[in-house]
Amino acid sequence: MRRSSPFWFSLALALALPVLSLAAPPKAPAAQRPVKRKKPFMFIMGDSNIWGHLGRQMQPSFEKMGWRVYRRGKPYSGLARPDFFDWIKKSPFLIKSLQPEAVVIMLGGNDAQVISPLTGEDAALIPWEDEARWVAEYERRVERLVAVLASGGATVYWLSPTNRKPIYARAAMRRIIPAQRRAVERTGLAVFVDTFELTSLPNGDYIASGEVNGHTIPYRYLDGIHLTPPGAVALRERLLPIIATCRVPTAVAVVEPDVLIEEGPVDVLVP
């Protein structure tokens, strides 16, 4: 067999070297640029109050104040039953996609029930009757969700559930709201707003009605829980000054490593 001449091999290598040296080096991945906006973004999220009249009243009010607002409401949702709707799983993608400067969240009215495991966790159900374990797990979830919502640098406002007519529901809020307050304040990442107090009379009863143009107008529907449009307007008027004047937390959010970004489109947003 005829062997290649060393001369021809050296010549071929010499001709190839200039070509290799002229090849463009691989480009480094472009750094993510901050979003340039004419208006700051606010994300309003939560349960049926946000899906319903309160969210519908707050959204245009904040827009008039100079915000661009996105609203995401899911009736019957909360933190106790992620098998129905998992805010902790869905929120990382929402925050990363929207990059809001402020987040207003209202949850808890549906949480007086058994706690089911978070997505990906192998844990037993925690019954409502097991108060100590229930409260500990609930506070852990509040802290975890606040960390996610604040991870992009947003100012987070956590609104507690409102006062309500049914005695059993009011008693349940006396466990849920203090747990929310403790967890939110422990993070140092959010402002806790007690809407139970804002919807209560001096004697502790819920505000059932109000005067509008000389007429008594109900602030709640027949269930004594959900706000009517006038009730939502009354609560909105109490909330706006509080949210507008709250100071931005100075702590830095640290998100647990197992809170992953959920891939997929942002669904059911109301721009």
- Residues 258 and 50: their CA atoms lie apart, in Å, by 28
**For residue 39, what pLDDT is reported?**
85
User: Which SS3 state, helix, strand or coil, does residue 12 take?
Assistant: helix
User: Which SS3 state, helix, strand or coil, does residue 41 take?
Assistant: strand
What distance, in Å, lies between the first and last C-alpha atoms of the chain?
Answer: 76
Question: Is the separation of the CB atoms in 77 and 131 below 8 Å?
Answer: no
Alpha helices by DSSP H, listed for 32-130, are 48-51, 53-64, 87-98
- Residues 193 and 33: their CA atoms lie apart, in Å, by 33
Question: Is the separation of the CB atoms in 127 and 160 below 8 Å?
Answer: no
**Which residue from 262, 271, 270 is spatially nearest to 82, judged by alpha carbons?**
262
CA distances from 65 to 62, 68, 193, 252 (A): 5, 9, 20, 27
**For residue 180, what pLDDT is reported?**
98
SS3 content of the chain, % helix, strand, coil (to 5): 40, 15, 45
Q: Can you give the pTM of this predicted structure?
A: 0.80
**Residues counted in the chain:** 271
Question: Is the separation of the CB atoms in 145 and 80 below 8 Å?
Answer: no
Question: Is the separation of the CB atoms in 162 and 199 below 8 Å?
Answer: yes
Q: pLDDT (tens digit, 0 to 9) for every residue of the chain, 271 residues total?
A: 555 555 444 545 454 444 333 334 444 444 445 556 678 899 999 999 999 999 999 999 999 998 999 999 999 999 999 999 999 999 999 999 999 999 999 999 999 999 999 988 888 999 999 999 999 999 999 999 999 999 999 999 999 999 999 999 999 999 999 999 999 999 999 999 999 999 999 999 999 999 988 999 999 999 999 999 999 999 999 999 988 765 544 544 544 444 433 433 333 444 4
CA distances from 167 to 5, 173, 208, 224, 226 (A): 98, 10, 14, 10, 15
